[in-house]
Each structure stands twice: as structure tokens, then as C-alpha cells.
A and B are shown apart, each in its own frame.
Chain A
Amino acid sequence: SQQGEEDPQALSIQEGENATMNCSYKTSINNLQWYRQNSGRGLVHLILIRSNEREKHSGRLRVTLDTSKKSSSLLITASRAADTASYFCASISSGSARQLTFGSGTQLTVLP
């Protein structure tokens, strides 16, 4: 079963605009992570937010976490064509220390 579900499934924006992707999850978590995947490649870790954190920044990335709503969002500011990729949220549930469960991803296209 999918622990995380991203929304929207696909997003197309112009270069320079901000991109927001949302993720919902079902069970209590220790932390939530966001990954990026270029077409046909492996996933690359972007950012991790712990369950006791509400917001985290890394460069042009901003992640929020609302544990009461079991949701997270990833904001990419001032997007670039090179940001075109699929973005996945992944979580470690409180009862399982080792497994990351991934959502189905958001395909982001940034048009030049």
C-alpha cells in the first residue's frame, strides 16, 4: 500500500515560477523525505523533515510538514528548466525503523 500520495500527479509551469507539490500520508511518521528522479535514472535525496519540525529550507527548496493533517508540501522557488523531474515524498512510519515508503510521484515540467 502507498504510504504517501503526491498531488498533483503532473505539473507544468514556466521558468521562474514557483512549483508546489503536496504529499499526504496515512500513518504516524518519524520523518518525511523528498526525492527527485530525472527521467530513467535513480532517485536523489533532496531534503528530510522530522516529525517535530514544521518547516525546513534548503536553497530554493522549502518543505512544510503538518502532522495533524498528515501532509507535507515541497515548494521550489524560481524554477529552472533543469528542475524538470519527478518528485517523490517518502516516509518512515513510526513502527518501522528501516523502511521508506514512497508515493507515486509528481511529474514536474518547467518550460523555458
Chain B
Amino acid sequence: DVKVTQSSRYLVKRTGEKVFLECVQDMDHENMFWYRQDPGLGLRLIYFSYDVKMKEKGDIPEGYSVSREKKERFSLILESASTNQTSMYLCASSQRRSSGNTIYFGEGSWLTVV
């Protein structure tokens, strides 16, 4: 069974803290993604990676960075958390092929910045 695991389900962090959200997939997928989901805004792509050490900005990369040192792991980093980054964060992965990509999602990480 395919699995995308997000290490933290619920986090509460203070403004200005550095936050790491970790994601691991066990399907040997090349592509990995970080989305945030907010009420009324749907899912918005923050960053994605299509290979180890490769990353590309999504629609809303400001305030975030990512790290992909190993194929199975994709980390989202908030260098200095702010209250407007309170949200649900979803990690996902997919195979490399260019069409018909099904994306597999983790269960989500609820981040509250106070």
C-alpha cells in the first residue's frame, strides 16, 4: 500500500521560530510536493521537487524553503514562522511520467503559529 507520512500531525509554534515539516514516501516516487490548504482557497502549491536536490517554486513560495537530500524525504522549512502561516500543510508525491500522474497525499500537518 502506498504511503506518504508526515511526521507531525499537530504543531504549535511561536512567531519567529524555525519550523521543520518532514515528509517521507515509500513508493520510490521522483516528484514530491508541499501544499498548504486554507478555507476558501483550496490547495496552493508552495514548492515541489522532481529529483534529489532539485526544487522548484510553486505559487506561494515566499516565507518557505525546502530540502530534498534523499529521494524519499522532502522537508518544508519555515525560517521564521509568522501567524499568517497558520494552516494545514499537505505533502504529496507522484511518479515522474508526464501525464496521468496520480498524486498520493499524506494526512496533513496542522500548524498553528502564535
Separation of A43 and B108 alpha carbons in the complex (Å): 9
Separation of A33 and B105 alpha carbons in the complex (Å): 14
A97 pairs with B99, CB closer than 8 A: yes
Chain A contacts to B: CB under 8 angstroms: 1-2, 30-31, 33, 35, 40-45, 48, 50, 88, 90, 92, 97-105
**Interface membership of chain B positions 19-59, coded 1 if the CB is closer than 8 angstroms to chain A and 0 otherwise:** 00000000000010101000011110100101000000011
- Give the number of A-B contacts (CB < 8 Å): 62
Closest chain B CB from A61 CB (angstroms) = 15
B101 pairs with A42, CB closer than 8 A: no
Query: Which residue of B is nearest A1, CB measured?
Result: B59
Separation of A92 and B95 alpha carbons in the complex (Å): 14
Interface size class of B (residues with CB under 8 A): 20 to 34
Given A2-B42, A88-B42, A97-B98, decide whether A45 and B103 contact each other with a Cβ distance below 8 A.
Answer: yes
Q: List 29 A-B contacts (CB under 8 A).
A: A1-B59, A2-B42, A30-B98, A31-B100, A33-B103, A40-B88, A41-B108, A42-B4, A42-B90, A42-B106, A42-B107, A43-B92, A45-B102, A45-B103, A45-B104, A48-B102, A50-B99, A88-B42, A92-B101, A98-B48, A98-B94, A98-B98, A99-B33, A99-B48, A100-B101, A102-B43, A103-B42, A104-B41, A105-B42
Chain B contacts to A: CB under 8 angstroms: 4, 31, 33, 35, 40-43, 45, 48, 50, 58-59, 88, 90, 92, 94, 98-108, 110
Closest chain B CB from A56 CB (angstroms) = 12
Contact of A42 among B58, B59, B99, B108 (CB under 8 A): B108
* B103 cross-chain contacts in A, Cβ below 8 A: 33, 35, 43, 45, 90, 100
* B94 cross-chain contacts in A, Cβ below 8 A: 98
B99 pairs with A30, CB closer than 8 A: yes
Closest chain A CB from B71 CB (angstroms) = 15
